[in-house]
Structure formats: structure tokens, C-alpha cells
């Protein structure tokens, strides 16, 4: 099954998991079992799971502490007719981050939401990931399908080196290679020119952002080390340059 643009349901779903920066979180009220829905900021873990940064004082966090079953709805964008845009409903369990994984989730969340730096260190705020058991995709009228969670999460086997190097890779690209990131955005992903920056790297690709807009840059092959990521990014720059360079990055 494919949708317009030759994107498969798996590709659409994986992109939404990586690109989404906010969503609707549904939890269960402990006494009545009624659903409770709230708006939350989100980011994506290295494996693609949705990251939440929520306060234990919030009703949804209190609900999760009693029953971890949740649903999160993520939608394609803010422009156009909402019911014509792709969206996914991810249901599963909200899992509190272990201390050895907290730094990775913190880095990724703050890269997506820099303003969260002001409260992320507060004692009552905690990181969770949503471990999906079911994913329901609506890619427009009549284009509806369930997607198996194992098909949309990123395999992290053997990628410890890449995860450890991610912060350095992102910093290096944003400090020294903004011209390359501009090429990725404009020539490979069809975006407008601007100060695009990188926010994350994983075995399947990289995430780019500009003023709230997000893009997903897929790698041509899976990478598991910093060196493999470097080679993949260099190859994508060459591919982008072959398509022509925008005025702002042309040699002076």
C-alpha cells in the first residue's frame, strides 16, 4: 500500500514520529477511567519513540503514575485543512526514563525545544518515552491503516557509538557546516532557504529545524558509527550540490 508521493505508510509514520514537536496526550483518570487529554511538547528518542517532558504536578503525569497506558496524536503540520493532513495515533505505555538514558533524552528534547532549558532541571519534571503497542495512521480521506510498531521504530543494535557521538556531530554541523545543512533542506527536501540547523542524528537519518519547521533527512544506508554518519552526510552534500547550489551558498 502506498500513498501520494510514493511514500509508504511506514515512511509517513516514521517521518511524523521524527518531525512532530507537539501533540495531544491522552491518559486515563484513576477513579473514573475517563480519558483525559492535554497538549504537550514532544521530541523523538534515538529509536523513534516519542519523548515527553512532564511535571509530576500535572494531571496527566499523576494519571500515568497510576496507569501508564497512553495515546499520543501527532499531526503533519499547522497549515491547510486539518482533516486532509496526515496524522498518527500512537498508543502504548509511558515509561519513565532511567538515569543512564536521561541525558540522551534531555539532549534530544532540549535540541527540539530550547526554551525548555528554563524548567527541564526542576525536580518535579521528568522524562518519559511512549513505547508503542499500536500505531494508527490517517493520511487523508480514505487513506487509513494500522502500522506495526516494530516497522516504524529505528533499530539501535550496534549503534551505541553513534548515540554517544550524536551531540558532537550535531554541534559540529551547526557550528561549521550550516551551508551543508542548507543544501540538505533546499536541494534534497524542497524547503525554502534559511538558517536551517540540525537537531539530531540516528541510524536512519538526521532531523533539521528552522523557526518551528521540521524536516527529516533520510540516509541512503543505515549508519551505526560517527564515521559512517560523516560519510553519509558528505555523500548527501555531493548529491545536493549535483542538483545546484542556492545563491546564498554559492562561492563568492
Residue 192 in grid coordinates: 525554502
Given this model, what pLDDT does residue 207 score? 96
Sign of CA dihedral 182, 176, 44, 166: positive
Instruction: Map residue 2 onto helix, strand or coil.
Output: coil
Contacts 24+ apart (CB under 8 A), 79-83: 83/141
Contacts 24+ apart (CB under 8 A), 146-149: 147/9, 147/10, 147/13, 147/88, 149/92
Given this model, what pLDDT does residue 2 score? 39
Q: Answer yes or no: do 211 and 148 share one domain.
A: no
Given this model, what pLDDT does residue 244 score? 73
**Tally of domains in the chain:** 2
CATH number for the domain spanning 220: value is 3.20.180.10
Is the residue at 133 inside a domain? yes
Given this model, what pLDDT does residue 6 score? 65
Residue 199 in grid coordinates: 537537531
Residues of the domain holding 79: 4-152
Given this model, what pLDDT does residue 181 score? 97
Given this model, what pLDDT does residue 252 score? 32
Is the residue at 204 inside a domain? yes
* Cross-strand bridge partners of residue 144: 138
Which residues of the chain are under the pLDDT cut of 70?
Answer: 1-6, 77-80, 100-101, 245-252
Given this model, what pLDDT does residue 79 score? 66
Amino acid at each position: 500500500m502506498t500513498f501520494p508521493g510514493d511514500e509508504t505508510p511506514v515512511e509517513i509514520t516514521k517521518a511524523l514520529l521524527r518531525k512532530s514537536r507537539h501533540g495531544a496526550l491522552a491518559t486515563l483518570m484513576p477513579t473514573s477511567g475517563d480519558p483525559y487529554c492535554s497538549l504537550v511538547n514532544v521530541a523523538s528518542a534515538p529509536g523513534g519513540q516519542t519523548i515527553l517532558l512532564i511535571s509530576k504536578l500535572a494531571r496527566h503525569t499523576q494519571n500515568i503514575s497510576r496507569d501508564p497506558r497512553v495515546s499520543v496524536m501527532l499531526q503533519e503540520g499547522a497549515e491547510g485543512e486539518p482533516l486532509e493532513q496526515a496524522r498518527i495515533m500512537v498508543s502504548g505505555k509511558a515509561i519513565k526514563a532511567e538515569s543512564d538514558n536521561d541525558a540522551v533524552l534531555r539532549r534530544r528534547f532540549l535540541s527540539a525545544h530550547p526554551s525548555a532549558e528554563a524548567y527541564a532541571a526542576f525536580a518535579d519534571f521528568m522524562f518519559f518515552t511512549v513505547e508503542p503497542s499500536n500505531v494508527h495512521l490517517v493520511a487523508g480521506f480514505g487513506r487509513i491503516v494500522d502500522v506495526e510498531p516494530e516497522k516504524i521504530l529505528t533499530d539501535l543494535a550496534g549503534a551505541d557509538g553513534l548515540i554517544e557521538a550524536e551531540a558532537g556531530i550535531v554541534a559540529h554541523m551547526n557550528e561549521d557546516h550550516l551551508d551543508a545543512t542548507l543544501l540538505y533542506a533546499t536541494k534534497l527536501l524542497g524547503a525554502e532557504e534559511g538558517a536551517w540547523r540540525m537537531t539530531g542524528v540516528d541510524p536512519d537519518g538526521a532531523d533539521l529545524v528552522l523557526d518551528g519547521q521540521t524536516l527529516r533527512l533520510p540516509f541512503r544506508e543505515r549508519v551505526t558509527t560517527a564515521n559512517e554518519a560523516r560519510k553519509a552526510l558528505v555523500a548527501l552534500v555531493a548529491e545536493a550540490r549535483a542538483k545546484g547550489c542556492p545563491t546564498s551558498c554559492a562561492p563568492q
